[in-house]
Amino acid sequence: MAEVRDGYALGGRMEAERPSNPQELPPSPRSPPPPQSPPPLPSPLSPAAPEIPDLPQPEPSEAYARQLLLEEWGPLSEGLELPDRLTWKLLLLRRPLYRNLLRAPNPEGINIYEPAPPTGPTQQPLETLGNFRGWYIRTEMLQKDLSWTVKQQCVDLLAEGLWEELLDDEQPDITVMDWFEDSRLDMCVYELHVWLLAADRRTVIAQHHVAPRTSGRGPSGRWVQVSHVFRHYGSGVRFIHFLHKTKNRMVPGGLQRTRVTDSSVSVQLRE
């Protein structure tokens, strides 16, 4: 994996570049103050069914499901019980910890272990270029020939199999990660905005905003990692609103895009 370096962020640490000989990046420019509340999230392009792994056959007993999960997760705090609505078999089915909770995290099927594949300008809508199920997509126009593609989705932590006592008492780590293309279309070609929300989906409990700038050296098309871990965020978190922006430039023949891949939101118990 690439070496992780500190960079300027509006509330976090980030940035690792590929290939194996990264150069020190200059500080990113200061961005406008981040929004205090996430934008409204309309329905996604199409319904997103939970991506649930298959249960082993035959179906395990409740005791065996508990044993399997605790071997994987480690012991929970003393006195932390499952609510009546959950069983260990259901948790084994949903696997709410240590998995990516975002839908279609790699919609264009791009591999970060290779340079971003060359692509020319296109006039096709983004949603026709891959499987964007679960994402809400819009375009934000900028000055001249520039624009942002804005993609967002909201994770319902209780629907994914987590429960109130675990989130409030344990406050497990919440990790967000993304990879964007060093497209050189502008000084800043990517932004990440994440909000931890209460049950009303409006009250912001914690948030992270970052607009990194790459070095501008070496060939374009390298992948840049952005990540942040929420810790000790307080009680009441029930939703995670994930939004990233990628810069486009209008050129002869269509739109030249900055691509992004392997987006993730996951929840982990702290050691």
Q: How far apart are CA 48 and CA 46, in angstroms?
A: 6
Q: Which residues face 246 on adjacent strands?
A: 149, 190
Q: How far apart are CA 45 and CA 161, in angstroms?
A: 24
pTM over 0.85: no
Each domain of the chain, given as residue ranges in start order, spans 1-21+103-271, 53-94
Residue 43's pLDDT band, with cuts at 50, 70 and 90, is low
What pLDDT does residue 20 have? 44
Each residue of 19-35: pLDDT tens digit?
Answer: 444 444 444 445 545 55
Dihedral, CA of residue 268, residue 192, residue 153 and residue 223, to nearest 10: -80
Q: How far apart are CA 101 and CA 155, in angstroms?
A: 7
**Which one, of 211, 209, 227, 265, lies nearest residue 15 by Cα?**
227
- Region 172-185 average pLDDT: 96
Each residue of 118-158: pLDDT tens digit?
Answer: 888 999 999 999 999 999 999 999 988 999 999 999 999 99
Q: Let me know the angle formed at the C-alpha of 33 by 30 and 37, rounded to the nearest 5 degrees.
A: 140
Q: How far apart are CA 166 and CA 269, in angstroms?
A: 9
Each residue of 102-113: pLDDT tens digit?
Answer: 999 999 999 999
Q: Is 11 a residue whose pLDDT tops 50?
A: no
CB of 188 closer than 8 Å to CB of 213: yes
**Which one, of 247, 1, 31, lies nearest residue 147 by Cα?**
247
CB of 165 closer than 8 Å to CB of 80: yes
Q: Is 9 a residue whose pLDDT tops 90?
A: no
Each residue of 201-232: pLDDT tens digit?
Answer: 999 999 999 999 988 777 778 999 999 999 99
CATH fold for domain 1-21+103-271: Jelly Rolls (2.60.120)
Residue 17's pLDDT band, with cuts at 50, 70 and 90, is very low
What pLDDT does residue 119 have? 84
User: Higher confidence at residue 238 or residue 21?
Assistant: 238
Each residue of 62-74: pLDDT tens digit?
Answer: 999 999 998 998 8
